[in-house]
Amino acid sequence: MSVSNNASTIMKVEASDLDPPEKRSKYTVCVVGCGRIGLPTACLFAEAGFRVIGTDTNQYAVNLLKRGKAPFIEPELSVFVKKYVKSGRLTITTDNKKAAAESDIIVFVLPTVIDEKKKPDYSLVEKACKEVGMRLRAGSLIVFASTTGPGITETLVQETLENASGLRAGVDFGLVHSPTRAAPGRILNDIVTYARVIGAINEQSFKVASLLLSTFVQGGIVKVRDMKTSEAVKLFENVQRDVNLALANDFALLCEKIGTDYLEAQKAANTQPYCRLLVPGIVAGHIPKDPYLLLEEAENASAKLRLPELARKINDEMLEHTVQLIRDVLKQEEKTFRRARIALLGVSYRANIKEPRGTKTKVLANMLVRKGAIVRVFDPLYSYNELKEMGYPTERTLTKTIEGTDCLVFLVGHDRFKSLNLRRIRFLMRKAAAIVDIGHIIDPVKAEKEGFVYRGVGRGVWTK
């Protein structure tokens, strides 16, 4: 097809065109999806010298960002946002079409949703690709950084972009898949220091993507043969963790039955250089979602993934096991769920990180309420109003949450919880008080010494 005067020249870029960093300001990067991964990605492109447009469908988040405020807490991120929004190097909009029309590089960092039937829902991805495609400039580069099933980039993403734009991937625009490896609480650092995997539609797309990402990625570039392989890499990493967590949970359940402390055994076993046993518990965050992306593609290929499917089943059952532990301590107190006062401590899915997405706290709370319990939820990282807005029954202080309860359930190992005084807690609670420790912060011996009935995942050394 003929190339318009509005075509981008990014696909012809050479290393000398990006060095020194001042030269990068002639190129515009659009980051579609300014969530927990997308916003740090946008900031790092801005830090590297590019002009950046961030887009998001969340109007509340967009309004905050336009004022130079990050919509979530992440170390150092607020400084970057304030700096580059104020300087004009980072602009924010809800208009994907307009942003695409002004950009040379479009980076998709969108969530993949799993529906009630545990099937991937790519409707958000498809909608964004269609909007971008409608104003996509010839000569642009598409970097798809979302976690998807193998084959989605070269089918759904590529076909939607081509149909909406009338352009051909690998001919009129570049296309790569390059997943982001980062964990909440250290996202900026992880994106910079971890190696970046790139699978491309052709060699020129790989070359240009490598040059662009290398302006801030210090961990090196890992080339794989195609986009499907790149998609598989990210899923294999996350599914392996899910399988390892399932093994830890299975071992932990055994330790409860045979009267052994899993954490003690784990620590000793991990002194062997090739042994890396994980900490057991409720698996939350993005990990429970990703196996279903892989299982869906396996089913489409008439293949079986027996171990990941079993691991997901084991990990899903840990919520019910938590309920069983609560039932057990209440029974020891000669109580039942009906009218029992239970405090769930921890909303974030990880310790010391303010991130409620993927948490299982609300699911557990609803399970307990259906059994007749009176539930209160508290997390020191969230305000009273924030917890209320998320739909949690809560109190304004930890003391008020604990006061008059029958059972405390520690779901997350926040440092703030580790400093709690067990004797004072015992004084605030009802007689025959109990602790169920899923976050691994309470010593079983100390808890029983202070008069608690104690249960903890894998901590099979309790005596009451």
Concatenated DSSP letters of 322-336: HHHHHHHHHHHTT--
Name 216's Cβ contacts closer than 8 Å, sequence gap at least 6.
44, 45, 47, 48, 191, 192
Quick count: other Cβ atoms within 10 Å of Cβ 2? 5
Cis ω before 280 (30° cut-off from 0) = no
pLDDT digit string (tens) for 271-313?
Answer: 999 999 999 999 998 899 999 999 999 999 999 999 999 999 9
Rounded distance between C-alpha atoms, residue 144 and residue 130, angstroms: 14
Quick one: how many helices (H) and strands (E) in the chain? 19, 15
pLDDT digit string (tens) for 228-252?
Answer: 999 999 999 999 999 999 999 999 9
Q: pLDDT grade, residue 4 (50/70/90)?
A: very low
Of 170-179, 243-252, 331-340, the least confident: 331-340
Which pLDDT value is given to residue 3?
A: 40
What number of CA atoms fall less than 13 Å from residue 325's CA on the CB side?
32
- Fold for the domain defined by 235-315: N-(1-d-carboxylethyl)-l-norvaline Dehydrogenase; domain 2 (1.10.1040)
The yes or no reply on domain 317-456 and CATH 3.40.50.150 is no
pLDDT at 437 over 90: yes
Rounded distance between C-alpha atoms, residue 12 and residue 211, angstroms: 11
Average pLDDT, the chain: 95
Domain ranges of the chain: 10-225, 235-315, 317-456
Which pLDDT value is given to residue 357?
A: 86
Exposed/middle/buried for residue 309 (C-beta within 10 Å: 0-12, 13-18, 19+): middle
By three-state DSSP, how is residue 92 classified?
strand
Quick count: other Cβ atoms within 10 Å of Cβ 224? 18
pLDDT digit string (tens) for 308-319?
Answer: 999 999 999 999
Which pLDDT value is given to residue 189?
A: 97
Rounded distance between C-alpha atoms, residue 396 and residue 455, angstroms: 27
Contact status, residue 143 vs residue 179, Cβ threshold 8 Å: no
pLDDT digit string (tens) for 80-109?
Answer: 999 999 999 999 999 999 999 999 999 999
Which pLDDT value is given to residue 96?
A: 97
pLDDT at 1 over 60: no
Domains 10-225 and 235-315 belong to one CATH topology: no
176/113: higher pLDDT: 176
203-208: long-range contacts, CB 8 A cutoff, minimum separation 24: 204/11, 204/174, 205/11, 205/141, 205/170, 205/174, 205/175, 205/176, 206/176, 208/10, 208/11, 208/13, 208/141, 208/174
Name 155's Cβ contacts closer than 8 Å, sequence gap at least 6.
none
pLDDT at 365 over 90: yes
Q: Whose structure tokens read 């093994």?
A: 247
Q: pLDDT grade, residue 431 (50/70/90)?
A: confident
Q: pLDDT grade, residue 347 (50/70/90)?
A: very high
Which pLDDT value is given to residue 5?
A: 53
pLDDT digit string (tens) for 35-56?
Answer: 999 999 999 999 999 999 999 9
The percentage of residues in the chain with a pLDDT greater than 70, rounded to a whole number, is 99
Q: Which CATH superfamily is domain 10-225 in?
A: NAD(P)-binding Rossmann-like Domain (3.40.50.720)
Contact status, residue 351 vs residue 413, Cβ threshold 8 Å: yes
| Rg, the chain, Cα only | 25
Quick count: other Cβ atoms within 10 Å of Cβ 296? 16
Q: pLDDT grade, residue 27 (50/70/90)?
A: very high
Residue type, 442: I
Pairing of strands 407-410, 434-437: parallel
Which pLDDT value is given to residue 286?
A: 86
Give the chain's largest Cα–Cα span: 81
Which pLDDT value is given to residue 2?
A: 35
Rounded distance between C-alpha atoms, residue 260 and residue 236, angstroms: 32
Pairing of strands 113-114, 120-121: antiparallel
pLDDT digit string (tens) for 190-208?
Answer: 999 999 999 999 999 999 9
Concatenated DSSP letters of 152-210: TIIIIIHHHHHHHHS--BTTTBEEEE------TTSHHHHHHHS-EEEEESSHHHHHHHH
Which pLDDT value is given to residue 323?
A: 98
